[in-house]
Structure 1
Amino acid sequence: MTTKNLRVRILTGLTLPFLALSLAGCDAALAPEQAPAAVSSAPAPAAGAAGEAPASAGTALAQLETIAVKGRAPKTGYSRDMFGSAWPDMDRDGCDERNEILQRDLTGITYKDGRCVVAAGTLNDPYTGRTIDFVRGTKSSSAVQIDHVVALSDAWQKGAQQLSSDQRMSLATDPLNLMAADGPANGSKSDSDAASWLPPNKAFRCEYVARQTAVKAKYDLWMTQAEHDAVARILASCPDEPVAGNGAARTEAVAVEEAPAEAPAPAAEPAPAADGSAAYANCAAVRAAGAAPIHSGDPGYSKKLDRDGDGVGCV
């Protein structure tokens, strides 16, 4: 055997075991780095899944999950007139909506005419936390204004363009969407949503955004992503905040328009009370009978169903 061949055999014999050991060492060195890659290839858990309980039924936080999130539509075509006249008498009781909301939200009221027009009263303002003495007058009435909780311009850009004129009128006059408030605070809000304006009174913010959420759910309006996130942040601090008013259901006008064209089933009659008169146990019974909202003079109407005393119960 030549010296050259001997050298090849020695190198070959040494190289193969050495390569095997080297590769094994490389595998061991790479193993810790490969583990994270295997983990990262798994799908990420859904938001809120880790350690967060789902929103409880009947809460504003749960209702927020039902609101569509879309971009803001153009304001083209908007005017206040698209939502009907400013303060009509919706329940035809001889008193306009502005005065009915003042009657609901103020205390210590005196009347100009003895029954409807509020001449003076006191507002415990939810937006600022201040107490405001309201006195009717050309220079003083603006101290207390009636705010649309969901501004009509905001509603127009988030679905109200698709509503009928009657539905828009209902939105503009719905007690759920109306609130007596400090005039300057209402002015600073203008047509902002929750992403750009919140009440200075932080103690009222949970109720405020819950009310906005309920109005948007009731009239099938949407939110922008920024608005949705702002509402979610507020409600995260008060996860048990209940759905405001009867906002879980859409308006009767919306439901009727989208229902199949067939005669509605007759509403169930209220159960007779002990004195022989008709009566409903509560608003749940009124709604189950298809009689909501119930008006003063309707069979089964009672003051216990009409908390704000405006003649319309279970709204």
Structure 2
Amino acid sequence: MTGPGDAWPDDAGTSPTRSPWAPLRRVGVAGPVMVAAIVLVISAAVGSAPGAHVPSTATRSATAAAVVTPSPGGPASTPGPEAPAPSALAAVALLPVKGRAPKSGYDRELYGQAWKDVDRNGCDTRNDILRRDLTDQLLKPGTNGCVVATGTLLDPYSGTAIAFVRGQGTSSLVQIDHVVALSDSWQKGAQQWDAATREAFANDPLNLLAVDGALNQQKGDGDTATWLPPNKGYRCAYVARQVAVKYAYGLWVTQAEQDAMVRVLSTCPSQPLPTTAPEVPAQSP
């Protein structure tokens, strides 16, 4: 069960079918030459071809988030020694660029039960992420090592330490953010997904971070063009994760969003593209 303050952040997507690696699209005015050069190198390295495509279903974190190597006429394979994953900056140019679709019809319930135990480890997704992201934690007795009672969050968005105490009026100080908001995903492709894909997306550890509750509320359903963490030292990692999630699930970006991604990642051109989320710890006996 979720406790007080365990509400979904206001987040949201496009089609679960990854579109082909289309011809590289126009990059925004910030750093276009750098991105074009990097993308040409990456494209040559992975052997991109017009007829290539990636798996048709966005899967859970490790597989859905894997950067794939397209192969003409068949499913893509996971990268090997000869096909390194592109940098986050290079991957920006691989995202389709379209206008934002209407938000009409969006409802959080379309993304399944909030914090469902999708990996069937006996613990809901919220507590999985709290156990992953908090330090100095004490687990609530009688919950099979699942429910976090207290802990400390080194908040990536503010750069400060936040004491977490489970309970009414305190749980909400630490919230679980969908890095790519659910409603943002709805407006950029998730309307065409089936229910299972939306549920997987909403519970994917690659797309989830424990963060300062007030900043999560401030962010709302913002994308890179409209909101960035106040902690400037975390912005490259934050934007890289948004790129990775959108790439993994076939979501598109607006032109303003792509420009903002390029602007941030041009300051850290070697920032890697995350291909998996940090591992969720096993439950205590």
Which letter does structure 1 place at the counterpart of 2:221? D
Pick closer, same or farther for the CA change 1:193–1:91 going to 2, 3 Å. same
Pick from 124, 136, 147: which aligns with 1:96? 124
Q: Which of residues 262, 266, 278 in structure 2 aligns to 1:232? A: 262
Aligned 1:66-81 pairs, distance under 5 A: 66-81=94-109
C-alpha separation between the residues in 2 aligned to 1:228 and 1:123? 30
**Structure with higher helix content:** 1
The gaps in structure 2 that reach 5 residues or longer are 1-28, 43-85
* Preserved contact between residue 35 and residue 93 of structure 2 (Cα < 8 Å): no
Match of 1:156 in 2: 186
Match of residue 109 from structure 1 = 137
Q: How does 1:256-275 map to 2 (within 5 A)?
A: none
Q: Quick one: higher RCO (CA 8 Å, sep 6+), 1 or 2?
A: 2
Q: For 2:154, which of 110, 115, 124 is the aligned residue?
A: 124
How far has the Cα of 1:246 moved from its partner? 3.5
More off after superposition, 116-125 vs 237-246? 237-246
2:58 equivalent to 1:86: no
Distance in 1 separating the partners of 2:207 and 2:242: 8
Q: Could you give the per-residue CA deviations for residues 191-238 of structure 1, whole angstroms, max 9, x where no partner exists?
A: 011111000000000000100011101110000011110011000000
**Does the 8 A contact of 1:69 with 1:222 survive in 2?**
yes
Q: Equivalent residue for 1:260?
A: none
Which residue does 2:207 correspond to in 1?
177
1:309 matched to 2:268: no
| CA offset digits 1:88-139 (Å, max 9, x no partner) | 1111121000000000000011011351110000000000001001000101
Inter-CA distance 157–101: structure 2 relative to 1 (3 Å threshold):
same
Report the equivalent of 2:169: 139
Which residue pairs with 1:54 in the alignment?
38
Q: Hey, what's the Cα distance between the residues in 1 that align with 2:150 and 2:116?
A: 21
CA distance in 2, matches of 1:123, 1:100: 14
Distance 1:117 1:82, change over 3 A: same
Shift of 1:48: 4.1
Tell me which structure has the larger Cα radius of gyration. 1
Contact 1:104/1:310, CA 8 A, preserved across alignment: no
Change (3 A) 1:74 1:110: same
The reply to whether residue 199 of structure 1 matches residue 226 of structure 2 is: no
Shift of 1:50: 8.5
Contact kept in structure 2, 1:59 and 1:240, CA below 8 Å: yes
Report the AA paired with residue 234 of structure 2. F
Q: 1:203 to 1:50 in 2, by over 3 A?
A: closer
Give the paired residue count. 208
Gapped runs of 5+ residues in structure 1? 1-45, 248-305
Gap change, CA 1:118 and 1:51, over 3 Å in 2:
closer
TM-score by length of 2: 0.69
